[in-house]
C-alpha cells in the first residue's frame, strides 16, 4: 500500500483544491472542506499558500442572510499566469494569449506555410509566437508558459513529436526543448485532438457532460476522450487515434483518415470534375444541392459514422462532438453520421451527435488551458 509522506499528502490536497477552484469559481473555504472532507484548518492553510503565491483571490463578503460571518468566495486570479496556446497544424500556426481564468485576450491566425518541412514550420511557429509576445509586451503581460497542440503520435512526457502522418519531415522532433530553449518558459505539448477536447470541456458544450468524445476532422482524424470529467490518456500516447481505425475498402484494409480525411475529400471531389480548392467550396455546392458533392460527402460521412459507432461501443460516452475543418460541410455531413450511429448502435444507448460549439479556435484554446493547468499544478506543488 502506498503511504504518502506529509509533504506528499499536502501536495495531493493542494492539487485537489486547485482543480475544484478551477471548476467551481466562487466556492468558499467551507464548501471546499465539505466537498473534500479536509479539515477547515487544512483548507485554510492551503488557501493561504495560494493567496500568498498570487494564485487565488477573495471576493468581498457576500451576505447570505444568516447570522454570523458570511462565506468568502474564492477565485483563481486572472493574472496568476498568462499562457500562449498554439495550434501547430499541417497548414498553418494559430496562436492566442489566455489568462488563468481562461479568457482569450488576443488571437492570431498565421499565414499558410511557405515551406512545408521541419525548418519552415518551426520558423513559422516562432514568428507567430513572437506576435503574441509582442502584444503581451505592449500590455505589460508576462508570459508564464506555452502549450502546443499538434497532430500525433507524440510523447507528451518528453515533448517529442514522433512521426505524424501527412506531416513531411517530422520524425522524433524534440519540439518542447526547441521552444523552451527559444523562450525560456515551461512548454507543454499534447495531441491536437486531446487539447481540443479540453477546450470543449472547459469552454464549450462539454462543461456539464461527464463522458464524451471530441472528434477532430481535418487531414488527419483524431479524437480526445473525456472520462469522468478528465482527459483520458492511457498508457501510451495513442488514445483517440480514431483516424487509424481500420476500414475494408476496395479489397484491402485502409486507415479511416486515408479514405475520409479532409484532403481525401478534396481530391475525390476534383477527380469527379467538381474543380474545388477548399472545403468551403464543397459546402457551397452542397447548398446548391449538387448531387456529386452530396454523394461524396455522404460516403465520407458513412465511414466516419461507422468509426464513431465503434468508438461509442468501446467508451460509452454521453455525447460525441464533431469539430475541425469539416464542420463547414454542415448538415449534409452530420446527418448521415447520425443515421449510421442510430442504425447500428448496440443496446438502448442515447448518444447525442453534435458539432463542437468552439470549433474555430478549439485547439489553441485547449493548448493554452493545458499549459495553464500544468503551470498551476507545478506552482501549487512548490507551496
> What CATH number does residue 335 fall under?
3.30.420.40
- Same domain, residue pair 246 and 288: yes
Same domain, 250 and 343: yes
Residue 1 clears pLDDT 50, i.e. is over it: no
For the ranges 183-197, 205-219, 237-251, 260-274, the lowest mean pLDDT is seen at 237-251
- What is the distance between the alpha carbons of residues 102 and 104, in angstroms, rounded to a whole number? 6
Residue 212 lies inside a defined structural domain of this protein: yes
Residue 3 pLDDT grade (very low, low, confident, very high; cuts 50, 70, 90): very low
Q: How far apart are CA 376 and CA 7, in angstroms?
A: 18
Residues 179, 163 share a domain: yes
68: left (phi over 0), alpha (psi -120 to 50) or beta: left
Domain that holds residue 285: 205-357
Mention every residue, 6+ apart, whose C-beta is less than 8 A from residue 117. Answer: 168, 169
Shared domain for 209 and 142, answered yes or no, is no
Query: Do residues 83 and 71 both lie within one domain?
Result: no
**pLDDT tens digits, one per residue of 99-134:** 999 999 999 999 888 777 888 999 999 999 999 999
Biggest distance spanned by C-alpha atoms of the chain: 77
Task: Provide the domain count of the chain.
Answer: 3
pTM for this model (two decimals): 0.90
Q: Which residues lie across from 84 on neighbouring strands?
A: 97, 146
Is position 183 within any domain? yes
Per-residue pLDDT of 245-259, as tens digits, reads 998 888 899 999 999
Q: Does any domain span residue 1?
A: no
Residue count (the chain): 383
* 373 in the same domain as 353: no
Indicate if 35 and 127 belong to the same structural domain.
no
pLDDT of residue 63: 47
Domain boundary among 44, 76, 108: 76
Q: In the structure grid, which three cell numbers stand for residue 74, read together?
A: 474564492
pLDDT tens for 58-94 read: 987 554 545 556 788 999 999 999 999 999 998 899 9
Do 177 and 229 have their domain in common? no
Q: 224 and 209 share a domain?
A: yes
Cβ atoms < 10 Å from Cβ of 156: 16
Percent of the chain with pLDDT over 70: 95
User: How much is the average pLDDT of 311-332?
Assistant: 94
Amino acid at each position: 500500500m502506498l503511504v504518502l509522506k506529509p509533504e506528499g499528502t499536502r501536495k495531493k490536497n493542494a492539487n485537489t483544491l486547485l482543480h475544484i477552484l478551477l471548476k467551481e469559481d466562487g466556492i468558499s473555504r467551507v464548501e471546499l472542506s465539505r466537498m473534500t472532507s479536509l479539515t477547515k484548518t487544512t483548507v485554510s492553510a492551503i488557501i493561504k499558500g495560494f493567496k500568498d503565491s498570487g494564485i487565488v483571490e477573495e471576493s468581498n463578503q457576500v451576505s447570505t442572510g444568516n447570522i454570523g460571518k458570511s462565506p468568502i468566495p474564492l477565485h483563481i486570479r486572472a493574472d496568476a499566469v498568462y499562457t500562449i496556446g498554439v495550434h501547430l497544424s499541417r497548414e498553418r500556426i494559430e496562436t492566442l494569449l489566455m489568462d488563468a481564468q481562461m479568457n482569450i485576450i488576443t488571437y492570431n491566425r498565421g499565414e499558410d506555410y511557405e515551406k512545408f518541412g521541419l525548418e519552415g514550420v518551426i520558423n513559422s511557429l516562432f514568428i507567430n509566437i513572437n506576435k503574441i509576445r509582442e502584444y503581451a509586451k505592449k500590455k505589460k503581460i508576462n508570459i508564464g508558459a506555452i502549450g502546443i497542440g499538434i497532430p500525433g503520435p507524440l510523447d507528451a512526457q518528453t515533448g517529442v513529436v514522433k512521426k505524424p502522418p501527412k506531416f513531411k519531415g517530422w520524425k522524433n522532433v524534440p519540439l518542447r526543448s526547441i521552444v523552451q530553449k527559444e523562450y525560456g518558459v515551461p512548454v507543454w505539448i499534447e495531441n491536437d485532438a486531446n487539447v481540443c477536447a479540453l477546450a470543449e470541456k472547459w469552454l464549450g458544450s462539454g462543461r456539464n457532460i461527464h463522458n464524451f468524445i471530441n472528434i477532430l476532422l481535418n487531414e488527419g482524424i483524431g479524437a480526445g476522450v473525456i472520462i469522468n470529467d478528465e482527459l483520458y490518456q492511457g498508457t501510451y500516447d495513442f488514445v483517440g487515434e480514431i483516424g487509424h481505425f481500420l476500414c475494408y475498402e476496395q479489397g484491402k484494409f485502409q486507415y479511416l483518415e486515408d479514405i475520409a480525411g479532409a484532403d481525401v475529400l478534396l481530391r475525390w471531389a476534383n477527380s469527379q470534375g467538381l474543380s474545388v480548392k477548399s472545403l468551403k467550396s464543397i459546402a457551397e455546392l452542397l447548398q446548391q444541392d449538387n448531387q456529386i458533392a452530396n454523394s461524396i460527402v455522404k460516403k465520407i460521412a458513412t465511414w466516419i459514422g461507422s468509426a464513431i459507432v465503434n468508438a461509442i461501443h468501446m467508451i460509452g460516452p454521453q455525447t460525441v462532438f464533431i469539430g475541425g475543418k469539416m464542420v463547414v460541410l454542415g448538415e449534409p455531413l452530420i446527418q448521415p453520421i447520425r443515421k449510421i450511429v442510430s442504425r447500428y448502435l448496440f443496446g438502448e444507448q442515447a448518444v447525442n451527435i453534435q458539432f463542437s460549439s468552439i470549433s474555430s479556435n478549439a485547439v489553441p484554446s485547449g493548448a493554452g488551458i493545458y499549459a495553464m493547468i500544468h503551470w498551476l499544478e507545478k506552482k501549487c506543488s512548490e507551496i
